[in-house]
A and B are shown apart, each in its own frame.
Chain A
């Protein structure tokens, strides 16, 4: 089997790039993999069965891309890393792996970064997927009158990100439920890197104070860092904690000012983006992670899986995917009550740290049982094997759309019904049978998972 994988690659500061790096050897053990990068340079170790190719999104090498049995697209919310991937996925149907289902950050980001959509195109896109009301809201957003997060909750543009997809992979029940009804979709629990870190040398520091709090990942407004800072600022035993923040954020300078203004300069350090090695060291020294999301962009959290691998307890918002994780693996914070709940947890942690360490150990066990990268990779390979069936469904839908469009111009409702029946029968006849030549590398066809019949 031949696979294409379109993904950001290191040194891109993207968790998805890291995930792809970990997945490649596993995919390549069963398939011939071509990784397509829109960047002009990348850092990827040479591997058997893996070829890396760059492409110009204005002139994609379709003939080479078309040699694969199936194409995977890693789709996330950062317009810098995913705009080329989205452009290709719209033209060459493949399996879109959605790392977020609320994609306003991506689409409006294309406008703000001048990266592939102008204002008119963006508004037309929103209107096509969410109607006139969506367009009005998007116009407000462009004028700075509506936050991306709030817009994304109502008009997520999920369907725009998958509009030509053969199939979609999501990582949570909530994301699965959010997909349009006729989507061929698969739910795969998100995974983290293959090797869980050794923790023997971590435990020694855990009894000493000050306690180390950590926040890491891409720090968008929904990560609630200002709220955490305010909770710390008004917590009477704040000096018994240190907070380290790792990751990129918009408006880092303003955040530094807020730290100063709240009098937290001695206990809070904003590190910015750091290497995997630095983050690894930091997590080894951490006592408690704050990993809030509100609003959630609807998907499973890679950073949560990562911190579980370190056996770390975390404060999470009881919302979306986080609300579905086992109660004995995290400490919950109620949406709207963040400051009070954070302070309550900090106090409880000081009283009984072991209670929280148990959560981390449970989380470590949970992630190894449910989110292994081996299981994830074999899930992707199973989906790849079902590509012929996904293609048949895609073709049938496409033919039905074209037929409906042609008929709607001249057919009345009554005749439409009679003709539609016949058209449906013939579309079924045209797409239901297949034959796989012996010499083909295409996997045998089988029935794939469909979100709905």
Chain B
């Protein structure tokens, strides 16, 4: 089959979504198909123009390229998943969450803009076109639930392995740090971890990896660490290569991942592949589909104090951390995640 994967790119921002599209393309090609990623530029920073970008997607025609039919379009992200196609399947990585569950969150720009209500209405109405697709899959149970609640759309969760899943490894030799690998943004809550660090009884150390969504946000995090007096217990690793990232996972005591209602979160799965316990929060969304409290990690209330308690616990109870990590690896194996299953479902 000739398949287009429709997604978006926010210039200068890169994360799991880009890896997801690349992984899907590779899997389709491995399965003998011709696949291409079509990336639509998307700039959410000017909310009033988002409806224009939705309309632009609706006006694209990808049914045929150079006289050859495109057999299937797989839409991944808003608003690219609005591109029409007679054989469209949507695999929702995430919607524009500022118009839904994140509307009330203080860090979201949409509700703080004068025309935000109108843009929210436009997005919610536009997303009703998801039902044009033959099937709507969601990247996780969490996303499927949101689609059901906010849009009245039935979506089937379809899990996939993180990129280079086979390359992750565990290590019995750990170094003195928790690892928090993630794009740095308010929704990932690096700031909450810094606040928790200031409350730990132990001299817990954290290594943050990843690039900030904006340089300003990165500066603010560093200023916060200094203000809280924890900067000596924090390392900012910035961008890591895949190899460096895997090694950082392997040598950590445990992995921190307490985002706000995460869609899916490769980090959880990568930690499990690396045999590491995961500390997450009760409102973290996607990670909760994989982390079992006191089995494969700790699920804390989303306050700095409770997060600090969880960090102290695994910092002192190293054997428990190791045990949870091993259980996490076993749990991952039982999930049976594979790209071949994903391809089969998307092309059915």
Point out the residue from B55, B111, B118 that lies within 8 Å of A427, measured CB to CB: B55
- Which residues of A have CB within 8 Å of B44? none
Point out the residue from A92, A429, A431, A432 that lies within 8 Å of B117, measured CB to CB: A92
- Which residues of A have CB within 8 Å of B54? 430
Number of interface residues of B (CB under 8 A): 29
Complex CA gap A318/B157 in Å reads 70
Complex CA gap A63/B120 in Å reads 13
Complex CA gap A93/B152 in Å reads 26
Complex CA gap A427/B117 in Å reads 18
- Which residues of A have CB within 8 Å of B106? 63
Point out the residue from A60, A91, A430, A439 that lies within 8 Å of B122, measured CB to CB: A430
- Which residues of B have CB within 8 Å of A431? 122, 125-126
Question: Nearest CB to that of A406 among chain B residues?
Answer: B52
| Count of A-B contacts judged by CB separation below 8 Å | 83
- The answer to whether A395 and B122 have CB atoms under 8 Å apart is yes
- The answer to whether A435 and B51 have CB atoms under 8 Å apart is no
0/1 string, B95-120, CB within 8 A of A gives 1: 00000000010100001111111100
Complex CA gap A394/B118 in Å reads 8
Known interface pairs A391-B121, A435-B151; A430-B126 also in contact (CB < 8 Å): yes
- Which residues of B have CB within 8 Å of A432? 125
Chain B: minimal CB distance from A20 (Å): 22
- Is A181 close to B, CB under 8 A? no
- The answer to whether A435 and B152 have CB atoms under 8 Å apart is yes
Question: Nearest CB to that of A433 among chain B residues?
Answer: B128
- Which residues of B have CB within 8 Å of A453? none
- Which residues of A have CB within 8 Å of B82? 430
Complex CA gap A211/B118 in Å reads 57
Chain B: minimal CB distance from A401 (Å): 10
Complex CA gap A431/B124 in Å reads 9
- Is A392 close to B, CB under 8 A? yes
Question: Nearest CB to that of A71 among chain B residues?
Answer: B117
Q: Which of B52, B55, B112, B126 has the most CB of A within 10 A?
A: B55
Known interface pairs A435-B152, A437-B150; A391-B117 also in contact (CB < 8 Å): yes
- Is A344 close to B, CB under 8 A? no
- Is B13 close to A, CB under 8 A? no
Point out the residue from A63, A65, A430 that lies within 8 Å of B125, measured CB to CB: A430
- The answer to whether A426 and B118 have CB atoms under 8 Å apart is no
- Which residues of B have CB within 8 Å of A17? none
Question: Nearest CB to that of B116 among chain A residues?
Answer: A66
- The answer to whether B116 and A62 have CB atoms under 8 Å apart is yes
Complex CA gap A398/B121 in Å reads 13
Number of interface residues of A (CB under 8 A): 32
- Which residues of A have CB within 8 Å of B51? 395, 398-399, 430
Known interface pairs A391-B118, A430-B58, A435-B128; A402-B52 also in contact (CB < 8 Å): yes
- The answer to whether B59 and A395 have CB atoms under 8 Å apart is no
Complex CA gap A437/B121 in Å reads 13
Chain B: minimal CB distance from A406 (Å): 8
- Is B149 close to A, CB under 8 A? yes
| Residues A417-432 near B (CB distance < 8 A) | 422-423, 426-427, 429-432
- Which residues of B have CB within 8 Å of A267? none
- The answer to whether A437 and B125 have CB atoms under 8 Å apart is no
- Is B129 close to A, CB under 8 A? yes
- The answer to whether B112 and A429 have CB atoms under 8 Å apart is no
- The answer to whether B55 and A426 have CB atoms under 8 Å apart is yes
- Which residues of B have CB within 8 Å of A426? 55, 58-59
Chain A: minimal CB distance from B198 (Å): 28
Chain A: minimal CB distance from B96 (Å): 14
Q: Which of A60, A91, A388, A391 has the most CB of B within 10 A?
A: A391
- Which residues of A have CB within 8 Å of B152? 435, 437
- The answer to whether B55 and A91 have CB atoms under 8 Å apart is no
Known interface pairs A395-B118, A399-B51; A434-B124 also in contact (CB < 8 Å): yes
Complex CA gap A165/B65 in Å reads 43
Known interface pairs A429-B129, A431-B122; A66-B111 also in contact (CB < 8 Å): yes
Chain B: minimal CB distance from A149 (Å): 33
Question: Nearest CB to that of B55 among chain A residues?
Answer: A399
What are 10 A-B pairs with beta-carbon distances under 8 A?
A62-B114, A65-B114, A66-B112, A423-B59, A430-B125, A433-B125, A434-B121, A435-B150, A437-B150, A438-B149
The residues of B with any CB-CB pair to A shorter than 8 Å are 51-52, 54-55, 58-59, 82, 104, 106, 111-118, 121-122, 124-126, 128-129, 149-153
5 interchain residue pairs of minimum CB distance: A91-B114, A433-B128, A426-B58, A435-B152, A391-B121
Known: A66-B112, A426-B55, A437-B152. 17 other contacts (CB 8 A): A62-B113, A62-B116, A66-B117, A93-B115, A388-B121, A391-B118, A402-B52, A423-B55, A427-B55, A430-B122, A431-B126, A432-B125, A433-B125, A433-B128, A433-B129, A435-B150, A437-B150
